[in-house]
Amino acid sequence: MAEKKIEHPTVEERASRGKESRQKTPVSSHTGWIPASDRPDPIALLEKQNQTREQDLVPVRHGRMLVSPFAFYRGAAKIMAADLKDTPRAGLPSQLCGDAHLSNFGVFASPERNLLFDLNDFDETLPGPFEYDVKRMSASFTIAARNNAFTKDETRDVTLTAVRAYREAMAQFAQMRTLDIWYARLSEEQLVEAIDLAVASQKGKALKKAAKRMGQTARQGLEKAHARDNLQALSKLAERVDGSYRIVGQPPIVIPARELADVYGMSGDEVAHLIREQFRSYRATLQDDRRYLLEQFEVIDVARKVVGVGSVGTRAYIALLKGRDQQDPLFLQVKEATRSVLEDHLPKSKFRQPGERVVQGQRMMQAASDIFLGWTKGVQDNRFLYWRQLRDMKGSAVVEVMKPRGLTFYASACGWTLARAHARSGDPIAIAAYLGKSTKFDVSIADFSERYADQNEKDYQAFTDAVRTGRLEAIHGV
């Protein structure tokens, strides 16, 4: 196999590439989006996804998507991927999250036990046009702001903030040394400092009071994340029986392996045995030091656990492991990895194993990744899994209750974070040159976001009609 040739263009050449892309694909070309004349039926796309999902959970997925147009958008990555394929591209690739909506950002612990803010969902990750992630993120802010009953001006300001933060951050990364980009991260301390600055900058008693409330809510969220560890998970998810812990059933959300016979047509012992075999295969994908660490734990129970909105129905499990004793737990999450929705329209992943695609994409984009990230093949043909810690100081913002000031601050953090992720895998100099210094790109993407939010509302209405008429089945409130 021929060795890949690595090119090292100069800074000037990289900037010229971005400027040439700007000539071929003007930033204003992202304005004026309309759905393609041959746009596929969005409900049919969801039905196609459902074919390979656990059929008893498909109605749960539908019920969660029915909550609002924003909840529907979270589960509609496949629909948006089909829409993005016809949108303008600058020809400047990076590793994509693939589903960079605002609820897929959050905090978690670094290996050094520091709290970081970053992207945290990579099920759809794939190399591709950087604009895809920017549009997925910015449209999510428009949809979320509408969901929170913001005015039109407030909604536009939030969206513009997200895109401007991305553009300005990319300009900063274009000036940084390579290793400095790689080590860049948004820490808890930086978040708190930014919150304090936002509070101090407000003029007027009412604005200062609102900003302080925002700061208090953010701090409470960070404190809550610190408490989300394995011992806390043990108290929430397990019970002690005859001196040993086991996972408590909470059907249909959590079903222990011992109760899965009806679902999979095998005994609980058989399911648990298969998971333990998978565990051994998964360990082999870890670095030697991390594999050694994990070998000091043993699997003592396994359960199916429903997660998220878009992921509902894909196979997802939790495994309870024990270290030195019963008070030394470790919870791992095992999630099914399928083809990225972007692979319907972009070149297929170089990784033949979708679980490895997810893990390697996450490592490329995150400032620091879970030490237990790994992958394995599933038991059934064409089933693939990836593994990670279930709770490691993980936390996410409750977007649905955010006021304009809070969502605007959050938009700035998300825009910076996405730019940093793209700068690691793409060419920040070329991308920054393409984006330019003016607000033209911001305005163009905000226009796209408003138009796409309109389309999302139409798709949501079609979705609710499909449930109402019986085309789709939904279980509410689960």
Residue type, 403: K
* For the chain, domain boundaries: 11-223+402-468, 230-389
- Positive/negative CA dihedral, 114, 118, 123, 125: negative
* Neighbouring C-beta atoms of residue 266, cutoff 10 Å: 15
Helix (H, G, I), strand (E, B) or coil at 83: helix
Residues pairing with 109 in the sheet: 115
Q: Please give the structure tokens belonging to residue 159.
A: 């969206």
Q: What is the pLDDT of residue 387?
A: 96
CA distance 150 to 152: 7
Query: Residue 359: CA atoms inside 13 Å, Cβ hemisphere, count?
Result: 25
In terms of phi and psi (left: phi > 0; alpha: psi -120 to 50; beta: otherwise), the region of 308 is left
What is the sign of the dihedral through the CA atoms of 36, 30, 166 and 92? positive
Q: How many helices (H) and strands (E) does the chain have?
A: 18, 13
Confirm whether pTM is higher than 0.85: yes
Low-confidence ranges of the chain (pLDDT < 50): 1
Residue type, 19: K
Q: What is the pLDDT of residues 35-75, one digit of tens each?
A: 999 999 999 999 999 999 999 999 999 999 999 999 999 99
Which among 160, 172, 87 is positioned nearest to 130, based on CA atoms? 87
Q: Which residue has tokens 């700068």? A: 423
Sole residue written with tokens 């090292």: 8
Question: Closest Cα to residue 143, out of 465, 432, 457?
Answer: 457
Length of the chain: 478
Q: What is the pLDDT, as a whole number, of residue 247?
A: 96
Q: What is the pLDDT of residue 1?
A: 45
pLDDT in tens, 353-407: 999 999 999 999 999 999 999 999 887 778 899 999 998 889 998 999 999 999 9
Q: Tokens standing for 254?
A: 């959590």
Report which of 463, 468, 470, 469 is spatially closest to residue 61, judged by C-alpha positions: 463
